[in-house]
Amino acid sequence: MSESNTVTRPLTERTPAEIEEFLREQQAAYDALAGRGLKLDLTRGKPATAQLDLSDGLLSLPREVRDADGVDTRNYGGLEGIREIRELFAELLGVETGQVVAGGNSSLVMMREALTYLWLKGGVDSERPWGAEEKVTWICPVPGYDRHFTLLDWFGIETVTVPMHDDGPDVEAVAELAANDPSVKGIWIVPTYANPTGAVASQEVAARLASMPTAAPDFKIFWDNAYALHHLTEQEAKSADIVSLAAASGHPHRPIMFASTSKITYAGAGVGFLAGSAETVDWYVKHLGKGSIGPDKVNQLRHVQLFGSAQGVRDHMARQREIIAPKFAAVEQVLSERLGDLGIASWTRPTGGYFVSLDVPDGTASRVVALAKQAGIALTPAGASFPQGNDPRDRNIRLAPTFPALAEVTEAMEAVATCVLLAAAEQLRG
């Protein structure tokens, strides 16, 4: 057999002697890697400095402190946010202005607030507060967003998982769970360029979620559209219109949408948004008013002045794409060249969002992450994309290539590939 065939032949087809030789090669490669003193980080989906620089115009804004209605944004009031930014993002999110609340810098805080209000007071369509229920269960598509799971754990909400497919969550599994158990109160969905798979929920999946019968009359879809505008190609995915679909299906209060500019402008000084039915917005603002006298309207106004229009946001995101798309291309190139023919790994090829989801041989993800750490490459903990950090197959690793420089992304991915190869060889030899 030729050397090239030995190199590219799937590992599972190789003889024990070939596996032993392969293991020795990978151990030597890893030893060399560990001796380089690397310090690289692929843990969190943070904007790179070059992305943040695109929004530095915010630092000299606002030019005028009164909004379009003549309100002095420096003062108290306006719990729902200023009209201009609600109009701008209503267009981008596909809802009416009256269905949007503009808040502070974090949509995650708005998610926590919405859950808190449901827990303490119940929703628009609730029979009683969720905290008065014997048990509350939440559906979690996996792999998914770890901060969603952390929030559920904090409330003591039980979780049940369903697979995340290319067109959204396994809708048949979701429908069955929701229809048969009144304790099942909701589902998290990152519908557009999902964290971490990059999946895009189809209009058909969204329609089924909006219309499906549920045993709980106040079932909620927390529609976290965090990445709706974060395209990696010129062919931009369109977000499913969950709010209109739910209203047409007779469940107008079922979805609560969230979004933010955290990865559009400044991650620590953006604007968060909540959207839903008019009644949901009134419900949210009523409870919000018990602990707030208004958001940072000055920051909202400076965002309006920076962008000018919805098209201004789209143009801004096209410039962001030029910065981060090459990094995702580097991830794809390294994984394809190093792992593509060996039959030991698969990964997503997202067209938007902030992550790549890597699946390695069952039972080796924790070992890969540990090897990487010893070699100076920080990865998100294995299992982070599952509730309680428990990936039953111990195979999924979330990769976040946006923050490092392009050369560092390539270097880090070469190192990750070496760790995957060594862990796979150890497992096969054992």
Domain for residue 59, yes or no?
no
Q: Are residues 304 and 235 in the same domain?
A: yes
Question: Could you say which of 247, 280, 308 is where a domain stops?
Answer: 308
Residue where the block lists tokens 């054992």:
430
* pLDDT for residue 1 is more than 80: no
In angstroms, rounded to a whole number, what is the distance separating the alpha carbons of residues 198 and 7?
Answer: 31
- Residue 368's domain comprises 3-50+315-429
Q: Are residues 159 and 175 in the same domain?
A: yes
At residue 200's C-alpha, the angle toward residues 199 and 206, to 5°, is 130
Q: Are residues 71 and 145 in the same domain?
A: yes
What average pLDDT does the segment 7-14 reach? 86
Residue of 176, 272, 183, 185 whose CA lies nearest to 225: 272
**Can you say whether the dihedral through the CA atoms of 290, 294, 295, 296 is positive or negative?**
negative
Q: Using DSSP, state whether 329 is helix, strand or coil.
A: helix
**Can you say whether the dihedral through the CA atoms of 10, 16, 22, 27 is positive or negative?**
positive
Q: Are residues 268 and 194 in the same domain?
A: yes
What pLDDT does residue 430 have?
83
* pLDDT for residue 212 is more than 80: yes
- Cα within 13 Å of Cα(326), Cβ side: 11
Domain for residue 58, yes or no?
no
Q: Are residues 319 and 287 in the same domain?
A: no
Domain for residue 13, yes or no?
yes
Q: What is the pLDDT of residues 22-37, one digit of tens each?
A: 999 999 999 999 999 9
What pLDDT does residue 7 have?
57
Q: Are residues 264 and 298 in the same domain?
A: yes
Q: What is the CATH number of the domain that holds 241?
A: 3.40.640.10
Domain for residue 55, yes or no?
no
Domain for residue 320, yes or no?
yes
Strand partners for 224: 258
* pLDDT for residue 342 is more than 80: yes
Domain for residue 382, yes or no?
yes
Q: Are residues 266 and 155 in the same domain?
A: yes
Strand partners for 397: 358
Domain for residue 163, yes or no?
yes
Q: What is the CATH number of the domain that holds 419?
A: 3.90.1150.10
Domain for residue 212, yes or no?
yes
Pairing label, strands 346-347, 356-359 = antiparallel
Considering the entire predicted model, what is its pTM?
0.95
Q: Are residues 412 and 350 in the same domain?
A: yes
Question: Could you say which of 274, 308, 342 is where a domain stops?
Answer: 308
- Cα within 13 Å of Cα(17), Cβ side: 0
Q: Are residues 105 and 236 in the same domain?
A: yes
Q: Are residues 262 and 378 in the same domain?
A: no
Is residue 3 very low, low, confident or very high in pLDDT (cuts 50, 70, 90)? very low
What average pLDDT does the segment 217-238 reach? 97
What pLDDT does residue 2 have?
33
What pLDDT does residue 5 have?
42
Which secondary structure element, helix H or strand E, spans residue 296, and what is its range?
A: none
Q: Are residues 213 and 230 in the same domain?
A: yes
Q: What share of the chain is helix, strand, coil (3-state, %, to 5)?
A: 45, 15, 40
Q: Are residues 12 and 91 in the same domain?
A: no
Question: Could you say which of 308, 330, 356 is where a domain stops?
Answer: 308
**For the chain, how many structural domains are there in total?**
2
Q: What is the pLDDT of residues 258-308, one digit of tens each?
A: 999 999 999 999 999 999 999 999 999 999 999 999 999 999 999 999 999
